[in-house]
Chains A and B, each alone.
Chain A
């Protein structure tokens, strides 16, 4: 079974600063996908970024980037130039490449951007 661990329940950072959220996972699969979802106070789950395990290059989406360390089973999210609208819960999630469409989520990190 896969597990996803987010060890930082809460974080806060000043606006315009950079923040990194941690995520580790455990799996015996070789091919899989990792995701970061954002959940603002509206409760809507929004996909922020995805990473394919077979790709060496780290994914980036504007101010959001990941540091994917496959050997260490680590998948951290970096938010640059943080904005007030980044305040939300952030969930790391995993799905294997074949046969199982389940998303396994971590417990989340509550991020607060301070004006």
Chain B
């Protein structure tokens, strides 16, 4: 399995531009998570999906951020308009259906997208 795939790996854009980050989860995984990593705030969960349905978006910082999962193999995180404070590494992670006792629960992370907004 190729693991979780994210694109692009690096994105540099100017303030005010729209940015779209993409994620392909591991085939067969029911859960997809979007995280943001910054020096100041560490790793924060932005939103997660179960079976393509958003379950919890309480971590999405502002209305400028939106996420979609149109099918089981693709998700996007969009920032419009982007601001310099959005500069961070954005991770996508996926996990399989969670068993009741979660003994083997693990989230599998993609390589991340480093976003720089100038």
Contact = CB atoms under 8 A, between A and B. Distances in A.
B45 interface: yes
A43 B95 contact: no
B115 to A, nearest CB: 13
A102 B56 contact: yes
Nearest to B59: A102
B112 A43 contact: yes
Band of interface residues on A? 20 to 34
Contacts of B111: 42-44
Contacts of A107: 42
A44 B92 CA distance: 11
A102 B105 contact: no
Among A35, A45, A95: residue with most chain B CB under 10 A: A45
Q: Is the interface of B mostly helix, strand, loop or mixed?
A: strand
Given A97-B102, A101-B48, A102-B48, A91 B43 contact: yes
Contact of B43 (A97, A101, A105): A105
Interface in B27-50: 31, 33, 42-45, 48, 50
A33 B105 contact: yes
Interface of B: 31, 33, 42-45, 48, 50, 55-56, 89, 91, 93, 95, 98, 101-103, 105-107, 109, 111-112, 114
Interface of A: 33, 35, 42-47, 50, 52, 91, 95, 97, 101-108
5 contacts: A43-B111, A45-B109, A47-B107, A101-B48, A101-B95
